[in-house]
A = this chain, B = another copy of it.
C-alpha cells in the first residue's frame, strides 16, 4: 500500500474500499471490477482511492490478503486432533462453506481471474505454505504419524478436491446443498481414514 493510514478515519476508509472491492469482485467478477466502481460503491472519490492504493493491482492484493487471512483464521480455529476423521470432516466442510458464504465468488476470482503481484502467484507464498501444511498435518494426525513428503502431496490433493467441489457448487448457487455436504464429508472421511495405507490393505 502507498501509505500506512495513521488516523482512525483513514483506516476506516481503507476498510470500506477493500470491502467494496470484495463485494464487486464477488458479484461481477474481475471483468466488472473497475476502480471507479469500487470508489463509488465505497462512497469515496476516485482520487481518494488512489491516495491509498497506488494502482489496481495493489488494491486487489489488499483484498486477497484480507480474504486469505480470514480464511486461514477460520481453519486455524478448527480442532485438528482429538477428534474422529468423520467429525473433523464435518467441521472442515462447515468452515469452508462458511468462508465462501460472505462473498461466494470471491475465492475463485482472486485465485483464478485476478492478476496478482508475485507474492501471491508463486507456490511458495506464505498462504499456500500455511494452507498446505495445515492439510498435510491433518492427514498425518489422522494417520498417527508426523507429516512426511507423501502427506504433503495428499494434502494438496485433498485441499484441491474440496476446493473444486465447493467452487463448482458456488458456481451453481448450490453452496448450501446438504446432500452435497454429506457426500463431500464422506469423501474427506474416506481419504483421511485411508491415507498412508497401501491401497487394498484395509
Contacts and interface: CB of A to CB of B under 8 A. Distances in A.
A156 interface: yes
A106 to B, nearest CB: 13
Contacts of A29: 112-113
A45 to B, nearest CB: 12
Interface string A99-127: 00000000010011101000000010000
A5 to B, nearest CB: 16
A165 interface: yes
Interface in A176-202: 179-180, 183-184, 186-187, 189-191, 194, 199-200, 202
Contact of A157 (B115, B172, B184): B184
Contacts of A169: 160
A45 B158 CA distance: 46
Given A161-B164, A161-B165, A154 B183 contact: yes
B191 A199 contact: no
A23 interface: no
Given A153-B183, A161-B162, A163-B164, 9 more contacts: A111-B171, A112-B112, A123-B172, A150-B179, A157-B165, A157-B187, A158-B187, A186-B194, A190-B190
6 contacts: A153-B183, A156-B180, A160-B164, A160-B168, A161-B164, A164-B167
